[in-house]
Amino acid sequence: MKKKVRFFRSVNFKIALTFILILLVSIEIIGAYFIRGLERSTIENFKTSMDTQAETLASTLGNHLGNQEDMDNSQQNNEIQRVLDNSDSNDVLEMEVVDERNNIRATTNVREQYMVGNKNDDTYIDDFSTKSLVAIDEATSDRVQINIQPIQSAGDTVVGALYIKSDLEQQYREINNIVLIFISSSLIAVFISMVIAILVARSITQPIGEMREQALRIAKGDYSRKIPVKGNDELGELATTFNQLGERIAETQEAMESERNRLNSVLSHMTDGVVATDRRGKVIIINEMALSLLNIEREQAVGQSILTLFDIEENYTLRKILENPEEILLERSSADQNLENVLLRVDFSMIRRESGFISGLVAVLHDVTEQEKNEQERREFVSNVSHELRTPLTSTRSYIEALSEGAWQDQDIAPKFLEVTLNETDRMIRMINDLLNLSRMDNGNYQLQLEYINFKELVNFVLDRFDMMVDEQEKKYHIYREFTKRELWVEVDTDRMIQVVDNLMNNAVKYSPDGGTITVRLVETHNNIILSVADQGIGIPPNDINKVFDRFYRVDKARARKQGGTGLGLAISKEVVKAHGGNVWVESREHVGSTFYISLPYEPYEEDWWE
């Protein structure tokens, strides 16, 4: 969200305010000097003018006042009054002429005309000396200029005095009017300057504002817009540089995003777990495979110490891992409670900068559970094969040694020894043939001879054979059939499927008690046919359920070996069923019995197949 800057806090206002303050200070300084000088000059000029006027008028009045013998006082007063009236001006408030006897001879004050011929009582005219002073008018309280000028006759004899009171306050009013005009002009100038300053400031700050908006867009990841370049000045160059910067950032961001996506894709699709830490050993990156292998949530892993994550803090320290980043093995519980623990191999590598500073660790987790399991199965397989071959070989060798030592001459013992030797040899041949078949299936070299058959008839064929063998065996059993009424046509390798059913029936007969019942069920589902063989034998311990299809595994090893079993029948059956695209599994309860299931793909038979 764009944050709006208030006008009074904006750079635009600050620049304009700076211009206005500079202008105001300049006007104040200039105005102070100008008004002070104007006031001094105006007042001095006014005083000089009044002094000059007083001197000139006094000189004129000296000619009229000094000729008293030529005319009477009345005529002389009228002449003096005429001179005063002719010399009157707007600046003069009052003029008065006093003779040497201090009698008022003429005045311009209409209200004091009655004083003409009377004694003067004005204190300013006391010694007939030249005076020029500023006083306060008692009637108006205004400032006035008082000029006293002696009137001299032709013989330089003082014959009177001239009193002039001028309006000095009017000069101050005119000065104030000028000041008001100056202030008004200044305010108009300030207003015009403010407008100009705002416009100038806006022309400066507008590109800066556009750069600010562009910076905000870049911060949000929008690199599409460009700042318009409006000139070749510094701001234009800055805008051009800013646009180039945006392009570089966009290219860098795109490259970083591409690398990040590539890294995330690699980490997400890796079959190994990857954990990266900072220099303090805290987890900062962990991929999905590592979370799955460690059976932990991402929120729990990120920020946790790698020693705690791997549960190795008792045996390792971060310094020890950094100094000697050797691989370690971890055993963790599987996310699936029905599966065994997971065995992990962890390889450590340090993250170094160009300066050599170690900034973290990378741990790569490899799931070696299957590898260890295969290795263990290989060792067990070699051990089992060695053990299974050693027993008949030892027995055969013992009987052959006995025959070579003379037992062949005994007609009662020799045939029995030869029969046992032959049986053990056949057993080894069957075991080797089974191992060869399993090897071909493991290598994918075995080809199934597929053909469409009635699977129900195939199962009945095998069961009929076992029914016929009941009387020939010491153990008695009963086979109970539960078959669907539909004909089930499937594409299978007949010989191999007979072998599978035969193996399941042999196991059921071996582990069923004397007189027990073997239940064989054949049903169909939408996409599969399911064959199950249930016995009433000793059952399979829960811990061994997942091992019954392993090679050379026997629930009751003594009984199976006594009855000639190789321990490979169920393993071969599983591989054959898987080659047909099916599945095989077992359900069992100890001392109750076991049920083996075979599931094969099935499509309902259609009449037009044979047309």
Distances (CA, A) of 403 to 51, 419, 423, 509: 175, 12, 16, 35
- CATH dotted code for 12-175: 3.30.450.20
Look over the chain and give the mean of its residue pLDDT values, rounded to a whole number.
78
CATH superfamily of 447-601: Histidine kinase-like ATPase, C-terminal domain (3.30.565.10)
Dihedral class, residue 401 (left if φ above 0, else alpha if ψ from -120 to 50, else beta): alpha
- CATH dotted code for 270-446: 3.30.450.20
Q: At 178, is the secondary structure helix, strand, or coil?
A: helix
- Establish whether domains 12-175 and 270-446 are of one fold: yes
Dihedral class, residue 149 (left if φ above 0, else alpha if ψ from -120 to 50, else beta): beta
pLDDT at 597: 92
pLDDT at 565: 53
Instruction: Indicate the pTM of the whole model.
Output: 0.41
For the CA atoms of 259, 265, 269, 275, the dihedral, rounded to the nearest 10 degrees, stands at 60
Share of the chain above pLDDT 70, in %: 83
Q: List the one residue out of 292, 180, 217 whose CA is nearest residue 2.
A: 217
- Enumerate the domain spans of the chain: 12-175, 228-269, 270-446, 447-601
Burial class (CB in 10 A: 0-12, 13-18, 19+), 3: exposed
Asked if 53 contacts 87 with a C-beta cutoff of 8 angstroms, the reply is yes
Cα separation, 518 vs 66, in Å, equals 177
Q: How many CB atoms are located within 10 Å of the residue 244 CB?
A: 10
What are 158-172's pLDDT values in tens digits? 888 888 888 888 888
Asked if 60 contacts 83 with a C-beta cutoff of 8 angstroms, the reply is yes
pLDDT at 4: 57
Q: List the one residue out of 545, 547, 530, 521 whose CA is nearest residue 582.
A: 530
Q: List the one residue out of 519, 523, 450 whose CA is nearest residue 481.
A: 519
Q: Which residues, other chains included, contact 271 with Cβ-Cβ below 8 Å and sequence gap of 6+?
A: 289
pLDDT at 339: 54
Cα separation, 391 vs 74, in Å, equals 182
Instruction: Give pLDDT < 50 ranges for the chain.
Output: 1, 337, 558-564, 607-611
pLDDT at 288: 83
Cα separation, 521 vs 610, in Å, equals 28
pLDDT at 9: 64
Q: At 555, is the secondary structure helix, strand, or coil?
A: coil
Q: List the one residue out of 55, 281, 11, 296 whose CA is nearest residue 162.
A: 55
What are 216-257's pLDDT values in tens digits? 777 777 767 777 776 677 677 777 887 777 778 778 878 888
pLDDT at 137: 80
Assign 3-class secondary structure to 524-541: ECCCEEEEEEECCCCCCC
